[in-house]
């Protein structure tokens, strides 16, 4: 006849070499019961620790994805600003190339035409510079 419920195991029983066979079996059963209870407790703690670690990993993963997305947005914004500045920078380079060779040739042949080309190039450079600074202020704001 078995009774229901859970019995609290006694403390660890030392092995008694001179005890009767029945006592030795009883001690072995008690030791096995204590070992199984300890194993169950350890397994429960391991499962709880595993769940805690999994939750912590999920939180860290979400944080990492947030940081990753933020970095990607910043890189894209920087690339967009750089592309805009690069596109705006082509006109001054073009006029610099034209002026470096053209003004010396025109200065000797027709001085008013040379000054007109220089004035036009400076005006375009100033206009392009204003556009670049306006785009930069918008990107920062």
Angstrom distance (rounded) from CA 48 to CA 55: 11
Better-scored residue on pLDDT, 121 or 68: 68
State yes or no: pLDDT of 95 exceeds 80. Answer: no
pLDDT in tens, 17-51: 887 888 888 888 888 888 899 999 999 999 999 99
Task: Quote the pLDDT of residue 130.
Answer: 81
Tell me what pLDDT residue 86 has.
62
DSSP one-letter code for 2: -
Query: How far apart are the C-alpha atoms of 19 and 13, rounded to whole Å?
Result: 12
User: What are the E-state strand segments in the chain?
Assistant: none
User: Are 10 and 21 a contacting pair, CB within 8 Å?
Assistant: no
**pLDDT recorded at residue 41:** 93
Q: What is the DSSP string of 43-58?
A: HHHHHHHHHHHHHHHH
State both tokens at 37.
């209870």
Q: Is the pTM of this model over 0.75?
A: no
Three-class SS state of 18? coil
pLDDT, residue 1, reads: 41
* Contact partners, residue 109, CB within 8 Å, separation at least 6: none
Mean pLDDT of 99-114: 64
Name the token pair of 134: 């306006």
3-state secondary structure of 72: helix
């Amino acid at each position: 006849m078995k009774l229901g419920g859970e019995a609290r195991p006694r403390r660890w029983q030392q092995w008694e070499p001179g005890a009767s066979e029945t006592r030795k079996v009883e001690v072995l059963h008690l030791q096995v019961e204590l070992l199984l209870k300890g194993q169950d407790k350890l397994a429960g703690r391991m499962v709880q620790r595993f769940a805690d670690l999994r939750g912590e990993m999920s939180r860290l993963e979400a944080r990492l994805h947030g940081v990753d997305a933020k970095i990607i947005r910043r890189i894209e914004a920087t690339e967009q600003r750089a592309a805009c500045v690069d596109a705006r920078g082509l006109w001054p380079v073009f006029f610099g190339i034209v002026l470096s060779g053209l003004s010396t040739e025109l200065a000797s042949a027709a001085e008013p035409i040379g000054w007109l080309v220089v004035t036009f190039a400076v005006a375009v450079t100033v206009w392009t510079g204003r556009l670049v600074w306006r785009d930069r202020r918008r990107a920062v704001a």
